[in-house]
Amino acid sequence: MRFKRGPYFTYTFLAIQIVVFILMELVGLKQGIYSGSEDVGILYQFGAMTHAAIILDGEFWRLVTPIFIHIGFFHLLLNSLGLYFVGRILEPLIGHTRFFLVYMLSGIFGNLWSFAFGSSNAISAGASTSLFGIFAAFIILGQIYKNHPGIKYMSRNMTLLILMNLVMNLFDSGVDIMGHFGGALGGLLVMVIVGVPSNRLGFNENIDWKKRVIALIFFLILSVGCFYKGFSI
Closest to 100 (Cα-Cα) out of 206, 10, 25, 200: 10
Integer Cα distance of 79 and 209 in angstroms: 33
Integer Cα distance of 96 and 9 in angstroms: 7
Give the burial class of 98: count Cβ atoms within 10 A of its Cβ; 0-12 exposed, 13-18 middle, 19 or more buried. buried
- State whether residue 94 is helix, strand or coil: helix
29 sits in the region (left: phi over 0; alpha: psi -120 to 50; else beta) called: alpha
180 tagged catalytic: yes
Catalytic residue among 128, 130, 155, 223: 128
Task: Give the CA angle between residues 47, 122, 114 to the nearest 5°.
Answer: 80
Catalytic residue among 70, 148, 180, 223: 180
Q: How many CB atoms lie within 10 A of CB 199?
A: 10
Within the chain, residue ranges assigned H as helices are 2-5, 8-30, 40-46, 51-55, 73-94, 96-117, 128-144, 149-169, 177-194, 209-231
Integer Cα distance of 76 and 126 in angstroms: 8
As annotated, the active-site residues are 128, 180
